Chain A
Amino acid sequence: MDLWTRRKFLIASGVVGAGALAAGGAVIGWQDLAHGAATRPLAGGTPVLVLVTLYGGNDGLNTVIPAGDSAYQDARPDLAYTPGQVLDVGEGLGLNPALKGLHSLWGAKELAIVRGVGYPQPSHSHFQSMDIWQTASPSAPATTGWLGRWLDAHGRDPLAAVSLGGTLPPLLAGATTSGSALPLGAFHLPKGRTLASFTALGAAASDDPATLAAAATADRDLLTVAHTFGPVLDGLPTSNSTATSTPTSTSASTGGAASGSGGEGSLAQQLDVVAACVAAKAPTRVYAVSLGGFDTHAGEKATQEQLLGEFDQAVSGFLGKVAHSANPVVLAAYSEFGRRVQANANQGTDHGTAAPLFVAGAPVRGGFYGAQPSLTDLDAGDLKFTTDFRSVYATLLDRVLAADPKQVLGQDFPRLGFV
Chain B
Amino acid sequence: MKADATGAAATAPSTRAQVAHLLRRAGFGGRADEIDAAEQAGYEATVAALLAGPVGSADPGVAATPPPAFADIPAPGRDPAARKQANRQRAQQYLQLASWWLDRMVRASGPLVEKRTWFWHGHWATSVVKVRSAALMLRQNQTLRSLGGGDFGALAQAMVRDPALAVWLDEAGSTRQAPNENLARELMELFTLGVGHYTEDDVRAAARALTGWRLDRTSGQLVFVPAAHDDTPKTVLGRTANYDSVALVDLLVDQPASHAWVVTRMWNRYAAPGPVPADVMSRLQTAYGSGRDLTALLRALLLDPVFRGPAVVGALAKQPVEYVVGALRALGVTPDDADRTMLLAALRRLGQVPFEPPNVGGWPSGDAWLTAAAVQARLDFARWAVTKADLGVVSSAPVGSRVDATARLLGLDAWSARSRAALQEVAGQPRTLVALALAAPEYAVN
Interfacial residues, chain A to chain B (CB-CB below 8 A)? 1-7, 9-10, 13-20, 28, 56, 124-128, 166-167, 181, 183-185, 187-188, 190, 193-194, 196-203, 205, 207-219, 221-222, 224-225, 243-250, 253-254, 256-261, 264, 292, 295, 297-298, 342-346, 348, 350-351, 380
Contacts and interface: CB of A to CB of B under 8 A. Distances in A.
Given A194-B432, A209-B7, A257-B360, A298 B367 contact: no
A344 B432 contact: no
B439 A167 contact: no
A258 B3 CA distance: 38
Contact of A297 (B170, B273, B368): B170
B359 A258 contact: yes
List 4 A-B pairs, minimum CB-CB distance, nearest first.
A17-B368, A210-B7, A1-B196, A200-B422
Contacts of B174: 344-346
B182 interface: yes
B418 A203 contact: yes
B416 A7 contact: no
A260 B436 contact: no
Contacts of B175: 345
Given A3-B276, A201-B418, A222-B375, A345 B180 contact: yes
Interface in B413-446: 416-419, 421-423, 425-426, 432, 436, 439-442, 444-445
Contacts of B442: 212, 215
A345 to B, nearest CB: 4
B177 interface: yes
Contact of A264 (B8, B178, B182, B351): B351
23 contacts: A7-B273, A124-B203, A125-B185, A183-B373, A187-B376, A190-B436, A194-B426, A201-B441, A203-B422, A210-B3, A211-B317, A215-B442, A221-B375, A247-B91, A247-B129, A257-B130, A257-B359, A297-B180, A298-B170, A344-B170, A346-B180, A350-B182, A351-B185
A184 B130 CA distance: 26
Nearest to B425: A197
Nearest to B7: A210
B264 interface: yes
Contacts of A202: 441
Contact of A211 (B87, B315, B416): B315
B351 A201 contact: no
Contacts of A181: 371
A28 B160 CA distance: 42
Contact of A216 (B189, B200, B441): B441
Contact of A214 (B186, B358, B370): B370
Given A16-B366, A197-B423, A219-B439, A3 B194 contact: yes
A345 B418 contact: no
Given A194-B432, A221-B372, A208 B366 contact: no
A56 B7 CA distance: 34
B158 interface: no
B247 to A, nearest CB: 21
B371 A380 contact: no
Which of A3, A193, A214, A258 has most B Cβ within 10 Å?
A: A3
B303 to A, nearest CB: 22
Nearest to A184: B373
Contacts of B317: 211, 214-215
A10 B362 CA distance: 10
A259 B368 contact: no
B141 to A, nearest CB: 16
Contacts of A214: 317, 367, 370
Nearest to A303: B130
Given A16-B273, A201-B439, A212 B373 contact: no
B356 interface: yes
Most B CB contacts (10 A, CB to CB) among A126, A201, A221, A348 go to A201
A198 to B, nearest CB: 6
A16 B364 contact: yes
Given A212-B442, A297-B182, A247 B128 contact: yes
Given A166-B373, A250-B129, A260-B358, A346 B196 contact: no
Contacts of B182: 256-257, 295, 297-298, 350
B368 A197 contact: no
B376 A185 contact: yes
Given A297-B182, A345-B180, 8 more contacts: A3-B276, A185-B373, A193-B425, A194-B432, A194-B436, A201-B418, A222-B379, A257-B130
B192 interface: no
A254 B129 contact: yes
Interface in B255-282: 260-261, 264, 268, 273-276
A193 to B, nearest CB: 6
B298 interface: no
B370 A218 contact: yes
Given A218-B444, A222-B375, A344-B174, A125 B179 contact: no
Contact of B91 (A124, A248, A264, A342): A248
B391 to A, nearest CB: 16
B368 A18 contact: yes
A20 B366 contact: yes
A166 B426 contact: no
Contact of A207 (B3, B173, B177, B200): B3
A20 B200 CA distance: 31
B114 interface: no
A212 B169 contact: no
B411 to A, nearest CB: 16
Interface centre among B2, B3, B182, B367 (most CB of A within 10 A): B367
A19 B185 contact: no
A297 B416 CA distance: 50
Interface in B196-238: 196-197, 200, 203
B145 interface: no
Given A3-B275, A254-B130, A350-B182, A215 B445 contact: yes
A167 B370 CA distance: 9
A184 B351 CA distance: 13
Given A124-B200, A298-B170, A198 B349 contact: no
B364 A28 contact: no
B153 to A, nearest CB: 21
Given A197-B422, A246-B91, A19 B8 contact: no
A237 B31 CA distance: 41
Given A19-B368, A194-B432, A345-B179, A218 B375 contact: yes
B45 to A, nearest CB: 28
Nearest to B177: A345
Contacts of A348: 170, 180
A342 to B, nearest CB: 7
Contact of A19 (B367, B421, B439): B367
B294 interface: no
A188 B441 contact: no
